[in-house]
Structure 1
Amino acid sequence: MTAPVTTFRPDIEGLRAIAVSGVIAFHFGMSDLPGGFIGVDIFFVISGYLITRHLMQEIGRSGTVDLWRFYGRRARRLLPASLLVIATTLAAGYFILAPSEQQLYAKGALFASSYVINLWLLRWSFDYFAADTASNPFLHFWSLSVEEQFYLLWPAFLLLVAWFRPGARGIALILGVVALVSFGVSAWMTSESQPWAFYFSPLRAWEFAVGGLVSLVVAERWASGFRFSPVMGWTGIALIAVAYLSVSETDPFPGFIALLPVAGTAMLLLSGARKSAVGPASLLSLPPFQWTGKLSYSLYLWHWPVIVYATILWPDLTLAGRLACLAVTVGLSFLSYRYVENPVRSNGWLSAGSLRSLGLAALLTSLGVTLSFGAAQIAARSVGPEQKLIADSAARSSSARQIDSACVASLEQTKPRSCSLGASKPQKTIVLFGDSHADHWSTPLAKIAETNNWRLVTYLKSSCSVAAVPTWNVRLMRAYSECDAWRQTAMKEIASLKPDAVIVSQFSYSYVENDVNGGLKHLVSRDVWAGGLRASLAALRKTGAEVVLLRDVPVHKSYLDRCVARSLWQGRSSTVCDTPRREAIDERVSKTEQVASAGLDGVRYVDLTELFCNDTTCPAMIGGKLTFRDRHHIATPFAATLAGSMQRAIFGNQVAARWP
């Protein structure tokens, strides 16, 4: 069924070097390669090619596949180095991470050890207030879990297909159907629920299947007469380069965008099957590519925990610091390859019997799970009163969420749901309108309402601006049409309430161009923002209510709950988590909003920045309380202390006269 092919292809080793280099460059903050994360997709196609080639050769020789031998070989190749990195990362995390983080990420280590961390991350990704994923030192294991799930199922699938004797073209047809179905669902899910398309292995199966198709094309010599294979190879290089240079993490990925690296990799694999002095295979066979490709697995394993821990310890890591991290990564990778990965993989005693290798796999898996569980238990016993106070401050919900978590509409929800706090028979009705940045004000406003016998009615939706501007949701990876529908209906309901005042708050820095929360795509210009905001404020004013627009809160450089907890654990002052005022606030956005609200009778702009920042600094803690639970959501215990200041700033000193 399959013609013999060369066992080792240097160009594939070089292609691995391109893949891992892109991933490392992206994670190490090289903005010139915003699409470097696509290197993972190159790895998927390579794996599909190599595994399918190997399995089809074995089926062609013997008519079957020795599954236990295959699984044993994969275990010797992958698990020893993986366990070494997991154990080292857990040990280093004890000294670097706060106990609460150690507990959380020990779960990640456990799921990584059992090859299902992609499913854990899939569930985690839907939590809007989930912990900062960028500080998860086991995050990169998601792709290894996808590969290991592929290794588990693909041999049995090919064996089943071959059992029906469809011939090489029949197998290619089946793989083509698998690729088309998987890609079609993946492209659809990218626009509907991007995390499923990204993390769920069946929706990545098309990339492996493409590699498998290429292996059949090469094995059967179907492309042997193609005269322009060097052109095809260089075209493949160009497609990968375009992806590396133009795609970013804010794009709807994988979807159709993933066709670029997948098609480019397929072209390179086809091109390299024929030796050519002018093709890219000659470039990829050069010693630097070969050396990097040989270490690619270890480089991938080590680079992420190294850069994560380095940026935690030194948040303002310089270029020199990142180069030092690269040197550490290369050093650790060489050592683990030389003394762990390669010796175990080529060990004669283990290779002599499948049961020995499978026993090693069971031992390493059990050891990884045990170490992870033990690390979580040690971390749980390390949580002292100070750590517990920070964790509780970050975990406490706003007043609106305390009465009902549904008070803040989900991303897909278009029908508003109002929530009422305060007096049941109020003298005045106040509406709080906006996104999660309005929600964190519900705590002091609820206290104000209760004190003054008012009713506070909330209309809140995650990531939805009050300003009537087009928005792009970075979690859905598409235009946020649900926000437009929700806003229109909510404003109609607010008008029917005939409130005395409407307080507007929103995360402006996530919608309009700024230097505080930069790097996001699809932010509207300040002119567009001003027009959309003015239109919404004018519409709210037509209800007869006084309209108060709150300036957005500062945005910190780090997640304060984690940063403060780490500083306490490491014996440092919480001031290391403070953010300079100039970095936390973009005055241009404030001026734009002031202009948008100016001249509208009954509309006021209120700036509460002084509650969070002094002239130079926005502290992480004020009066012994955590100011924000992450980078920009006010911690509820601190928000509760702002009621008096907020009442004076919004309602003035004549509350008893104007707002009984």
Structure 2
Amino acid sequence: MRIPGLDLLRTLAIVWVMLFHSYLVGGLGDHLAGAEWYGWMGVDLFFVLSGFLIGTQVLRPIAAGGALDLCDFYRRRAFRILPVFFVVLALYALWPAWRETPGMQPLWQFSTFTFNLLFDQQENYAFSHAWSLCVEEHFYLLFPFAALWMLRKPSAARFGVLCGAIVFGGMALRAWLWLHYYQPAVARDDEPSGLMFLRYIYYPTYSRLDGLLAGVALAACAVFRPTWLARVHRFGNLVLLLGLALLATSIALFTRRLGFVATVMGYPLLSLALVAIVAAASGGTSWLARVHVPGAGWLAGISYSMYLSHKGIFHLVEGAWANRLQQHGLVLFAVYVVATVAGGASLHGFVERPFLRWRDRGTRRRTQVRREADVLG
């Protein structure tokens, strides 16, 4: 699904994440410290976008009375996700200079997408941003079956109850984890409290479902209640303003990012803000849905490759250029930007796109075979 407003949001998300990870190469300075500090929210924006786009793909054929082709769904996801991921994983495994930190968790945790559940050594931080891909993979694996189960007897009330259970259950779980793991680590001061926060609260799939759920809820609205979404689109700018106001509230709440209130309530609030922004961008009259930013679609297209490779490229550039350009901060920042975009574009062009074309050729062949079979049958 290519919608200009969503492409722009995807571009903003990857830029936001890279600004956050600029701390690896010395940060952006005091004048951009806010963008750097809150850049992790770009991952939550990716979650909302993914929930909306994948949710629409899964729900639409079922709502139309057809069957969900699970084999085709997983084949398309595998061609989209795995080739670039394993290329970048090979770089991390075989080229130590690529790693942003010397240590790295065991490779099998990455190849099985269990890193986000098993991360336990603070010094093994290389390729740590793969945690969000693990969450996505778990979502791809389970959501189609959950959708089929829910739609055996479609009910808006049941869906609402399930969404409420996931949201409030997640809040209760994060509260318990904060009280039983993070707070004791802070009190004892005998183990890294930041590691405990990442290990038990921030990385695991079971405590980071809010964004994906918000996106799925928007997808369900688009598929089963299109008049509701049309009404949102008619008042798109108001919805966008509401989303931005909620985002500002979330940012204020996350000034103490590891605090109890932010941990428990912050992620649902942030997801609500971001889903309002995504809804406004998905069509209609809002400024975000109508604005055209040159290059945004292209950057959105290579955003996945950029996300996987940007930390490694940061580290390479730092080793090659940081000392030479230490007195020229803007020039050095420009080098980081150009190198990251070039690296992401190269991965997209030489790995991602060929596999996507191969996937699409296979889809066309299977569709043609089915049509011929229908004619002969």
TM class, shorter-length: 0.7 to 0.9
Mapped contact 2:56–2:222 kept (Cα < 8 A): no
What runs of 5+ residues in structure 2 fail to find an aligned partner? 182-196, 367-377
Corresponding residue of 2:354 = 343
Distance between the aligned counterparts of 1:286 and 1:10, measured in 2?
Answer: 9
Mapped contact 1:187–1:197 kept (Cα < 8 A): no
For 2:76, which of 73, 93, 102 is the aligned residue?
A: 73
Distance between the aligned counterparts of 1:327 and 1:149, measured in 2?
Answer: 33
Gap change, CA 1:69 and 1:183, over 3 Å in 2: farther
Gap change, CA 1:314 and 1:324, over 3 Å in 2: closer
- AA aligned to 1:142 is W
For 1:9, which of 3, 11, 14 is the aligned residue?
A: 3
Query: 3-state SS of the aligned residue for 1:139?
Result: coil
Indicate whether 1:207 and 2:218 are aligned. Answer: no
Gap change, CA 1:311 and 1:119, over 3 Å in 2: farther
For 1:324, which of 327, 335, 349 is the aligned residue?
A: 335
CA shift at 1:315, angstroms? Answer: 7.3
Higher helix share: 2
Corresponding residue of 1:180 = 168
CA shift at 1:168, angstroms? Answer: 4.3
What are the residue-to-residue correspondences of 1:58-137 with 2, within 5 Å? Answer: 58-93=61-96, 95=97, 104-105=103-104, 107-121=105-119, 123-124=120-121, 130-131=122-123, 136-137=125-126
CA shift at 1:180, angstroms? Answer: 2.9
| Higher relative contact order, chain-length normalized (CA < 8 Å, sep 6+) | 2
Gap change, CA 1:15 and 1:353, over 3 Å in 2: same
Q: Give the TM-score, by structure 2 length.
A: 0.77
CA shift at 1:349, angstroms? Answer: 4.4
Q: Considering only aligned residues, what root-mean-square deviation do their CA atoms show, in Å?
A: 3.0
Distance between the aligned counterparts of 1:343 and 1:190, measured in 2?
Answer: 44
CA shift at 1:263, angstroms? Answer: 1.8
After alignment, is 35-44 or 299-308 more displaced?
Answer: 299-308
Mapped contact 1:35–1:243 kept (Cα < 8 A): no
Corresponding pairs, count? 331
Distance between the aligned counterparts of 1:314 and 1:69, measured in 2?
Answer: 45
Corresponding residue of 1:224 = 230
Higher strand share: 1
Indicate whether 1:301 and 2:308 are aligned. Answer: yes
Mapped contact 2:4–2:289 kept (Cα < 8 A): yes
Corresponding residue of 2:188 = none
CA shift at 1:286, angstroms? Answer: 2.0
Mapped contact 1:218–1:273 kept (Cα < 8 A): no
CA shift at 1:239, angstroms? Answer: 4.1
CA shift at 1:86, angstroms? Answer: 1.5
Mapped contact 1:25–1:36 kept (Cα < 8 A): yes
Q: Deviations over 1:63-119 (max 9, x none)?
A: 5422221111111111111112122233331x5779xx76x42x4443222211112
Corresponding residue of 2:136 = 147
- Percent identity, aligned pairs only? 25
Q: Deviations over 1:288-339 (max 9, x none)?
A: 3323222211111111122244446777684333431221110011111122
Mapped contact 2:99–2:315 kept (Cα < 8 A): no
Mapped contact 2:88–2:309 kept (Cα < 8 A): yes
What are the residue-to-residue correspondences of 1:341-420 with 2, within 5 Å? Answer: 341-347=352-358, 348-351=360-363
Distance between the aligned counterparts of 1:87 and 1:337, measured in 2?
Answer: 16
Q: Deviations over 1:460-507 (max 9, x none)?
A: xxxxxxxxxxxxxxxxxxxxxxxxxxxxxxxxxxxxxxxxxxxxxxxx
Q: Deviations over 1:408-430 (max 9, x none)?
A: xxxxxxxxxxxxxxxxxxxxxxx
- AA aligned to 1:292 is L
Gap change, CA 1:150 and 1:265, over 3 Å in 2: same
Corresponding residue of 1:290 = 297
After alignment, is 46-55 or 310-319 more displaced?
Answer: 310-319
Indicate whether 1:40 and 2:28 are aligned. Answer: no
Gap change, CA 1:108 and 1:54, over 3 Å in 2: same
